[in-house]
Amino acid sequence: MTDAPLYDRLALIGSGLIGSSIARAARAKNAVREIVMTARSEKTRMRVVELGIADRVMATNVDAAQGADLVILCVPVGQSGEVAREIGPHLQPGATVSDVGSVKGAVVRDMAPHLGADVHFIPAHPVAGTEYSGPDAGFADLFVNRWCILTPPDGADPKAEAKLRAFWERLGANVESMPPDHHDLVLAITSHVPHLIAYTIVGTAEDLESVTRSEVLKFSAGGFRDFTRIAASDPTMWRDVFLANKDAVLEMLGRFNEDISALTRAIRTGDGDTLFDLFTRTRAIRRGILAIGQDSAAPDFGRPHGQTADKPTE
């Protein structure tokens, strides 16, 4: 027997990797009675119709949000404020409005002014994803055993928060709540700076003159290949993440630059102990991640030979 639905109508604004994964998971887990979806372009909306992952596909954000008791924005973070401005006056009283943005402080700042006191605003960030985009990229198991972080504002209704928590748990996620600024600091070091490093190193390899492009591709298994997967992540999404989480990213980059200067010096002066000590400590972090089931110990990300993707990038 399946559990009863938690919400009557879920509106997903944005039908990419995350929106379409929520739709698939919510349907598979009977989390809502009805799913309505929309996207910015006619092309994506048509594709959602073809995929059959929504009960109804609406032409506008307002049409989708009207009459829904749970509205989740699944758009790049730079779009959140504008979408909230559009739908704000049309929301059903008592509805819960949430999002999935990878940055929380800026999203709260941009969305909150457009949402009335009669709706519950509870931002969220499922820390799960891949380097792929669009409605075809989603899958129902994306959130299973991943964390979803809620950042309810002060004074948020505990019942609305508990219900949204139950929704994410129904989709398979573990849920934790924290203030938006703390979320942004944690994600700066665990996700945003690692993406920046991957984008940088792949760009540096691209610019090399003394090593040919075909050599970079051919010998990529030496470590480079793992960076290329992360550096293949969606350019719009990640541009918005760095612009929206500027302060926390700059803080973490400052520390990173200091540490890389210390390592540069250790290499230059032949200080093997410093290198060995650091590499021993970092190995313990990796073992900790495996121990809590957030990655597989299998080599090559546990992919069967020839399979190209699907490790979380966040």
- Cβ closest to ligand NAP, residue 43 vs residue 305: 43
Residue 66 binds ligand NAP (CB under 6 A)? no
Residue 106 binds ligand NAP (CB under 6 A)? no
- Cβ closest to ligand NAP, residue 14 vs residue 152: 14
- Cβ closest to ligand NAP, residue 105 vs residue 126: 126
Q: How many residues does the chain have?
A: 314
Alpha-helical segments (H) within the chain:
17-28, 42-51, 61-65, 80-87, 105-111, 158-170, 180-187, 193-207, 213-218, 224-231, 235-244, 246-268, 272-291
Taking the complex as a whole, the smallest distance from the CB of residue 46 to ligand NAP amounts, in Å, to 10
Total binding residues for ligand NAP by CB under 6 A?
A: 31
Q: How far apart are CA 60 and CA 41, in angstroms?
A: 10
Pairing relation of β-strands 147-150 and 124-127?
antiparallel
Mask 25-64, x = binds ligand NAP (CB under 6 A)?
--------------xxx--x----------------x---
Taking the complex as a whole, the smallest distance from the CB of residue 144 to ligand NAP amounts, in Å, to 14
Q: Torsions phi, psi of 83, nearest 5?
A: -65, -40
- Cβ closest to ligand NAP, residue 134 vs residue 215: 134
Residue 10 binds ligand NAP (CB under 6 A)? no
- The DSSP secondary structure of 112-145, one letter per residue, reads GGGS-TTSEE--EEEE---S--SGGG--TTTTTT
Residue that the structure tokens 């051919």 belong to: 218
- Do residues 13 and 64 touch, judged by C-beta distance below 8 A? yes
State which of residues 11, 35, 36, 75 lies at the interface with ligand NAP (CB under 6 A).
Answer: 75
Touching ligand NAP, residues 228-257 (CB under 6 A): 234, 237, 241
Taking the complex as a whole, the smallest distance from the CB of residue 218 to ligand NAP amounts, in Å, to 28
Q: How far apart are CA 76 and CA 42, in angstroms?
A: 18
Specify the amino acid at residue 132.
Answer: Y
Point out which span in 100-108, 168-176, 222-230, 286-294 binds ligand NAP (CB under 6 A): 100-108
- Cβ closest to ligand NAP, residue 7 vs residue 238: 238
- Cβ closest to ligand NAP, residue 160 vs residue 237: 237
Residue 148 binds ligand NAP (CB under 6 A)? no
Mask 274-293, x = binds ligand NAP (CB under 6 A)?
--------------------
Residue 19 binds ligand NAP (CB under 6 A)? yes
Residue 172 binds ligand NAP (CB under 6 A)? no
- Do residues 105 and 47 touch, judged by C-beta distance below 8 A? no
Strand order in the sheet with 147-150: 124-127, 147-150, 174-177
Among candidate residues 256, 191, 204, 188, the one with its CA nearest the CA of residue 230 = 191
Q: How far apart are CA 194 and CA 183, in angstroms?
A: 16
Taking the complex as a whole, the smallest distance from the CB of residue 301 to ligand NAP amounts, in Å, to 15
Among candidate residues 256, 258, 259, 275, the one with its CA nearest the CA of residue 267 = 275
- Cβ closest to ligand NAP, residue 96 vs residue 313: 313
Residues contributing to the site for ligand NAP (CB under 6 A): 13-19, 39-41, 44, 61, 74-77, 79, 82-83, 100-102, 126, 129, 133-134, 234, 237, 241, 313-314
